[in-house]
A and B are shown apart, each in its own frame.
Chain A
Amino acid sequence: MKTTKAGKALANEMKIKFLGVSENERLARICVAGFIMDLRVSAQELADVKTSVSEAVTNSIVHGYKNRRGYVTLCAKLFGTDELYISVSDDGCGIEDVEKARQPLFTTDPGSERCGMGFPIMESFMDKVKIYSRPGKGTKVIMIKKLGCDLAVKDGSAAVKRGKK
């Protein structure tokens, strides 16, 4: 288990496993918000992390498991005071073509109103996104973000909002 990243020690970690039902999309957002809300984080960064987690969890539920029962695991690790690593993993059907899946507007559920923006949103709102997946072997999405970058350091008039869930 990695205990340092870029020289920063593991400061906190959580791991939750929940049933892949749509009710738990909100649960996942609340858990990750709770994990970072007392850190030096801007309101926008908090919202960006929640949205990205929501996208990854929704992907596991809608695409990974489609209509069958399965569990989603959400892990979060904090290195130092500001390096956030999040992983969302499932044992669902896996992704046939990861590069294609990353493209805006691509969806494997075209009959629905899925607009295919999940990965582009994660890539836009997080610093880095890594996808590990194979057909039949499930999917793991890792997202990394450095927190506190938005905050004004100079005059302390930082727009810090402690998290609303």
Chain B
Amino acid sequence: MYDFTDNTLTISLSGEIDHHSAMAIREKADTEIEKRMPREVVMDLSGTSFMDSSGLGLILGRYRKCGALGIPVKLKNPDRQTYRLLVMAGVNKFVKIVFDKGESENVREAGKR
């Protein structure tokens, strides 16, 4: 799902993000980024029920692509397990991860384990 409001492109990664699903998402996401040239890209992970390293590759690939275009990327509202994976892979060190109010404490604890 793609939303373009106030010059921000929000890409919602819904469901299971694995090698199979990442392939289709990649193409569409890149098309939207190139079409909109937003001021910012937000990848909304609130609907992500599963992610493995293919999902990480999808995120990192979009981060690199946006970086080349000078567009900052943020990840929003990953659940506990997704956040744990992002921290384990070190993605949180260079991609900003934001949470809506009230969601962060529980999830951040998961990232420490």
Mark A residues whose CB is within 8 Å of B.
22-23, 25-26, 29, 43-44, 47, 50-51, 54-55, 58, 61-62, 112-118, 120-121, 124, 164
Complex interface bits, B38-67 against A, C-beta within 8 A gives 1, otherwise 0: 000000000001111110111011000000
Q: Can you list the 7 inter-chain pairs with the closest CB atoms, starting with the nearest? A: A22-B20, A113-B57, A113-B61, A117-B53, A47-B81, A115-B57, A54-B52
Q: B-side binding surface: helix, strand, loop or mixed?
A: helix
Interface CB pairs A-B, < 8 A, 19: A25-B20, A26-B16, A43-B81, A44-B80, A44-B110, A47-B50, A50-B50, A51-B50, A58-B18, A58-B54, A112-B57, A113-B60, A114-B53, A114-B57, A115-B57, A117-B53, A117-B89, A118-B53, A121-B88
Are B53 and A121 touching (Cβ within 8 A)?
A: yes
| Residue from the set B50, B53, B56 with the largest chain A CB neighbour count within 10 Å | B53
Identify A26's interface contact among B18, B84, B85, CB under 8 A.
B18
Question: CA A51 – CA B86 in complex, angstroms?
Answer: 13
Q: Which residues of B contact A164 (CB under 8 A)?
A: 49
Q: Are B88 and A124 in contact (CB under 8 A)?
A: yes
Task: For A118, list chain B residues within 8 Å (CB).
Answer: 53
**A51 contacts B89, CB within 8 Å?**
no
Query: In the complex, A112→B58 CA distance in Å?
Result: 10
Q: Which residues of B contact A (CB under 8 A)?
A: 16, 18-20, 22-23, 26, 49-54, 56-58, 60-61, 80-81, 84-85, 88-89, 110, 113
Q: What number of residue pairs across chains A and B have CB atoms under 8 A from each other?
A: 68
In the complex where A44-B80, A113-B58, A121-B88 touch, is A26 in contact with B20 (Cβ < 8 A)? yes
Would B18 and A44 count as touching, CB distance under 8 A?
no
Contacts A25-B18, A44-B110 aside, 9 further interface pairs with beta carbons under 8 A come to A22-B20, A25-B19, A25-B20, A29-B16, A43-B81, A44-B113, A113-B61, A115-B60, A116-B53
Max chain A C-beta neighbours (<10 A), residue from B54, B88, B110, B113: B54
Once the chains bind, are A44 and B57 in contact (CB under 8 Å)?
Answer: no
Which residues in A have their C-beta under 8 angstroms from that of B49? 164
A44→B81 contact, CB < 8 A? yes
Question: A121 to B23, alpha carbons, bound, how many Å?
Answer: 21
